[in-house]
Amino acid sequence: MRSERANSKTNDTEQELEELILVEKKTKSLVLVGNPNVGKSLIFNYLSGMYAEVSNFPGTTVSITSANYKDYQLYDTPGIYGVSSFNDEERVARDIILDGDVILNVVNALNLERDLFLTLQLIDMGKRVSVILNMMDEVKKKKLRIDTKKLSEILGVNIYETSAIKKIGFEKLDEAIKSAKVGRQDKPIQPAVGGLKEIYEVVKVKSHSLLILEGDKELTKQYLLNYHNDDLREEIYINRRNRVNEIVDLTESEDTKQGIFFSKLGRLCLNPVSGIPILILVLALIYFFVGDLISQRLVNYTENTIGKNYFEYWTKTFISKYTSVDITAKILNDNNEVIDQKTFHFPNGIDSDHIIYQSFKNFSVNRNNEKSFHFYHPIPSFFFGEFGVITMTLTYLIFLLLPLVIAFYFSLALLEDSGYLPRLAALVDKSFTKIGLNGRAIIPIILGFGCVTMATITTRILGTEREKSIATAILQFTIPCSAQLAVIAVLLSGAGLKAILIYSFVILLVMILTSTILNKIIPGQSSPLLLDLPPMRIPQLNNVFKKTYYRTIGFMKEATPWFFVGAAGIGLMQLTGILEIWHEVLKPFTVQLLQLPKEAATAFVMGMIRRDFGAAGLFELDLTAEQIVIALITITLFVPCIASFVIMLKERGWKQGLIVWSGTWIFAFLIGGLVSHIII
């Protein structure tokens, strides 16, 4: 495979960004700039031989990916509609563009109307630009005609036609970089002349002066200028917009009217009469794929058969040759009820006593059974016992989580690539405004079902601090991430339909209540929805697989150390007796309030490290269907994992982060207890 994980540099603060630029300023910088969803990342991947994520919905890349390309430092930027500072993505992109030596402006040929605004702005800024006119294959398919030569003349820069998905035209990218030049700038509008001159005398940089003239507050502040004029920006924008319209009229012609299948499908997704059934269908498909096929059938096999019966059994048997052990074999009937049970003692390891070992084998052979190993010594017990750092962790990670996480990321990638998500955002907008968000917030929330940590970063796409706060609280409090969801799906589907309904109802209710209350108490107003809807398309399987692969690898890399740390921590707590004390301390809550066995407290310790790890801890307990529901509700609402907690502190600050974190403690137990006393 050509790609490798990109040396992705996520820049959380402007300061880090500046440092990054300073360090890398020695080489020239080459910046890929374009509207969302135009193929920048595909070009980045091609040039760098590395991997940057490709999506079919606006507003997911809030970070910069960078790589070396020949003599250049190459940057991939978030998709933007213009250079300004209306939101976080624009701010991040703006800084890189201002410092860029060469700009490759990627333009969607199907959407010149929209994309050329940015192109003209880049040219007006006096940057060296080449235009990559992408999606030319689609243009031909749709019987559109674009007069590239004329367009190039008008803009005063070179234009290169490509189809990024098929890598057509990529051989000319090098030439595009070399031939980048300053284009034909707008005949300055009258009030701007004086203003621009005045600013330029102080600032000395054309691109900076133009943005200041267009009312960029941050840049203005940077130069200690006292200049702000919203009306002038509007005037410049209207003028630029009119130029775009003229250029499009001159260079583009259409042979047929569109109205083919996909634009119809796109419309059907929006219409409530068909949109809601489509939503239900999409959710049902995901449920059958992730919730049933993978989490029930496949995981049942991988976890119990491969993981427990083979991997753990073989490992434990191997260890038992060298150390003292008691092995308990439980014979189960078809309903997994214990019908017979026997414990075999091997004080000198299983090899030392062939007669007992044979009778143990005879007892369990050809019968549905479960074996548990009890090692006498603490060290084998620590690594291979009940919470064995090696046995339990590997089974959870590889045989339980891995298949589920792959399945989830795969479904998510399909959804992202199809262009469905922005339509979903439009569909849910009205309901979301009632809870202080706009439809855009569906994107971090859906991503949250993948990984809450990642989703918390994505809240940056929301327009106001208020919305970011509300969305972060919802994410950290009520949204189970894919790994936790996986474990929940396995436990819940075992507990029956009623359990699923109660769980979903309670979590949804808590989500609505939380956001409604926050909407009431946080001052201010939320921003309105203004969203560009990319065309629906058949997901590019190649891209879907790649994305699933890289995200899964990323997830496993992040999760694995935490699982070992967590298992080691629990193992130590068990060995030293602290676990027992913790059980007693939490007993009033677990036993009286939640009506769970006191061992459930272990799950809460584990849950602080990783949410899924916490839910996985419930596997070890023998719970009734009602208890499963209560335990899962509590663990879902309970504190977010360490990683997302840290990100939350970073994104939302100490005060807010700690309020949300401690709030989850109180409300998880409170709501869990309430439900417990209602249903038990």
Q: Which residues bind another protein (CB under 8 A)?
A: 81-82, 84, 86, 110-111, 113-114, 117, 230, 233-234, 237-238, 241, 244-245, 248, 258, 266-267, 270-272, 275, 422, 425-427, 429-431, 433, 438-439, 527-533, 535
The type of residue at 253 is: S
Q: Please tell me the number of Cα atoms within 13 Å of 263 on its side-chain side.
A: 5
176 touches 170 (CB < 8 A): no
Query: Residue 220 or residue 574: which is nearer to another protein going by CB?
Result: 220
CB of 185 to another protein, least distance (A): 18
φ, ψ for residue 400 (rounded to 5)? -105, -60
Q: Which is nearer to another protein, 206 or 243 (CB)?
A: 243
What minimum distance in Å lies between the beta carbon of 445 and another protein? 17
Task: Tell the smallest beta-carbon distance from residue 89 to another protein (Å).
Answer: 13
Alpha-carbon distances of 298 from 285, 404, 489, 546, 579, rounded to whole Å? 16, 9, 13, 22, 33
The residue among 260 and 379 lying less far from another protein, judged by its C-beta, is: 260
Give the tokens for residue 24: 């890398």
The pair phi, psi for residue 104, each rounded to 5°, is -100, 110
Query: Given the complex with another protein, which of 249 and 334 has the nearer CB atom?
Result: 249
Helices (H), 335-401: 354-364, 378-384, 391-394
Q: How far apart are CA 572 and CA 387, in angstroms?
A: 10
**Paired sense of beta strands 181-182 and 159-161, if any:** unpaired
Q: What phi-psi label fits residue 37: left (phi over 0), alpha (psi between -120 and 50 degrees) or beta?
A: left
Token pair for residue 389?
């750092």
Q: Which of 22, 20, 25, 26 is nearest to 7 (CA)?
A: 20
Close Cβ partners of 487 (under 8 Å, ≥ 6 residues apart): 400, 401, 612, 615, 616, 618, 619
CB of 168 to another protein, least distance (A): 21
Between 349 and 535, name the residue whose CB sits nearer to another protein: 535
Residue among 640, 540, 567, 623 at smallest CA distance from 56: 540
Contacts of residue 211, defined as CB under 8 A and 6 or more positions apart, other chains included, come to 83, 84, 94, 98, 125, 219
Residue number with CB closer to another protein (183 or 215): 215
Distance CA 325, CA 323 (A): 6
Cβ atoms of 81 and 114 within 8 Å: the answer is: yes
**Shortest distance (Å) from residue 68 CB to another protein:** 33
* Closer of 135 and 510 to another protein (Cβ): 135
Residues 6+ apart with CB under 8 A from 16: none
- As measured in angstroms, the least distance from the Cβ of 246 to another protein is 12
Nearest residue (CB) to another protein, 531 versus 659: 531
State the number of CA atoms in the 13 A half-sphere of 671 facing the CB.
28
Q: What angle do CA 599, 600, 602 make, to 5 degrees?
A: 75
Tell me the H-state helices in 223-325: 230-251, 261-270, 272-286, 299, 313-320
Closest to another protein by CB, 336 vs 431, is 431
Q: How far is the CB of 197 from another protein (least distance, A)?
A: 23
What's the min distance (Å) between Cβ of 212 and another protein? 15
CA gap 342, 327 in Å, rounded = 8
Q: Measured from the CB atom, is 307 or 422 closer to another protein? A: 422
H/E element, 150: helix 148-155
Please identify, using beta-carbon distances, which residue of 80 and 559 lies nearer to another protein: 80
Closest CB to another protein among 146 and 489? 146
Quick one: 430 or 498, whose CB is closer to another protein? 430
The residue (of 218 and 620) whose beta carbon lies closer to another protein is 218
Phi, psi (degrees; rounded to nearest 5) at 150: -65, -40
Measured from the CB atom, the residue of 120 and 397 that comes closer to another protein is 120
Q: How far is the C-alpha of 394 from the C-alpha of 308, rounded, in Å? A: 10
Let me know: does 481 contact 451? Beta carbons within 8 Å: yes
Instruction: Supply the minimum distance, in Å, between the C-beta of residue 423 and another protein.
Output: 8
- Return the axis-axis angle of helices 497-521 and 625-637, rounded to nearest 10°: 30
Q: How far apart are CB 133 and another protein at their closest, in Å?
A: 15
Q: CB 149 → another protein: shortest distance, Å?
A: 21
The answer to whether the beta carbons of residues 440 and 531 sit under 8 Å apart is yes
- CB pairs under 8 A, 24+ apart, for 647-651? 647/453, 647/456, 647/457, 648/456, 648/472, 648/476, 650/12, 651/12, 651/456, 651/457, 651/459, 651/460, 651/468, 651/472
Inter-helix orientation angle 625-637/465-478, to 10°: 150
CB of 665 to another protein, least distance (A): 35
Give the shortest CB-289-to-another protein separation in angstroms: 28
The nearer residue to another protein, 62 or 639, going by C-beta atoms, is 62
| Widest CA span in the chain | 101
Q: How far is the CB of 237 from another protein (least distance, A)?
A: 4
> β-strand 159-161 against 128-134: which pairing, if any?
parallel
DSSP classification of residue 481:
P
CA dist 337 and 340 (Å) reads 9
